[in-house]
Every structure is written in structure tokens, then in C-alpha cells.
Amino acid sequence: MNSEKLTGTAIRFVLNDAAFAFRDIQDRIIDGGLTRIYSWVIASFIKDGKLPSPVNDLPWPVSFTRPLSITVDQTRVSSAEIQLLQNSLLTYADFWNARGKDWREELRQHAKEEQFLDELSKETGVSVNRLRALPAGSASIQEPAPEPETEQTARAA
């Protein structure tokens, strides 16, 4: 509403505070409604023979992926997520579902693109590295430098 007077640190706090409120609503919808809806629908599918029962487990365990949390530091968050993915601390499911996409479909699409690059490279004689916009594994996202401390933040500290 009125964030023009806020410093970078203050606006991060405000967004974090707002994110908690949104998370609270998500918790209520998931815990109070969606988990039960999921169980009812899956039970119905199993009963109707549209879905097999799980082996050695009950069919109810489920988790829900939430949308990306609100942030002003999209670049910083993306950089952190890439590191977490590379270190197996973030799953593809969490990464893609938060963006409203099926991780399996995204990985499948990625594999198709890699396959196509290989084929195109053979066909044209242009190396795969030259066909890519960026070489694989290159650090394409630079973490932003910390903001300089303003007079206002210095006084607050």
C-alpha cells in the first residue's frame, strides 16, 4: 500500500510478515479442507477401480506444494534454489510444483530439448555448447550486492 518510505531491510520484513499471513491461510485450507478432499477423492478412485491401492501403505499420506513465497529478492531466492537443487536439498517436485508445473513433465521436456540439441549438433555440425544460449552449469545468476546502509537504517540500528 505505502512502501515508498521503507528501506530494503524494512520492506523485506514487511513482505516476510505478509508471507506469514498468507501461509496461515494456506495451512487452514490444506489442513482443514484439501487433505480431506484428497483422501475422499482417492478413496473413491480406488473403490471404483480407477486407481490401485498402494503396496504396504495406506493411501492417505499427502503433502501440498504451495505457491512461491512473496519476495523482493527474486534473484537471490533463485540463486539459493539452484544451490539447494544442486545439493539435493530441494526436490524437483517442490521446485516445479511451486511454479504450478508438473516436475515430471518439466524434466521430460528438458530431456527432449537436450536430445534435440544433440541431434541438431550432429545435423549441422555446430557444437552443442554453441547451440546453447549459456553453457551448462555456468553461473548465470549473480547474487545482488547488499544494499548500502542509508542514514535511516543506520539510525534505526
Partner 1 sequence: MARTTAKAKGRKAIVPQLPAKVAVQAVDGFESAAYTRDRSIVWSATPDQSANPSSFTRAEILRLSRYLVNNFSLVERVLTAIECYGVGAGLIANASTTDSDFNHQASQAFDKWGNSVFCSANNQYTLYEQQKLIARELILAGEIFIVLVKAATGYPQLTLVSSENVRHSGDKKDDSIDGLYVDDYGKVTAYNIFSGKTYQKVDAGNVIHLLRHKNIGQLRGIGSFAASLNSMRDHKDCMLLEKKAVKVHSSLALVVEKTGGEATNGGIAGELMGANVSVTGKPNVGLERAFGGAVTYLEKGEKVTPISSDRSTSGFQAFLELLVRDVCLNISIPYEF
What number of other Cβ atoms are within 10 A of residue 117's Cβ?
16
Indicate the residue among 102 and 118 with the shorter CB distance to partner 1.
102
Between 93 and 156, name the residue whose CB sits nearer to partner 1.
93
User: In this structure, which amino acid lies at residue 76?
Assistant: R
- In 3D, which of 82, 64, 73 has the Cα closest to residue 27? 64
Cα–Cα distance between 49 and 133 in angstroms, integer? 47
Contact residues: partner 1, CB under 8 A: 1-3, 6, 10-11, 14-15, 17-22, 24-26, 28-30, 32-34, 36-38, 40-42, 44-45, 48, 50-59, 61-68, 70, 93, 97, 99-100, 102, 104
Q: Could you tell me which residues come within 8 angstroms of residue 95 by beta carbon, excluding any fewer than 6 positions away?
A: 81, 85, 103
Q: Distance between CA 139 and CA 72 in Å, rounded? A: 21
Least Å distance, CB 63 to partner 1, is 5
Cβ closer to partner 1: 53 or 140?
53
Question: Measured from the CB of residue 7, what is the shortest distance to partner 1 in angstroms?
Answer: 11
CB of 86 to partner 1, least distance (A): 22
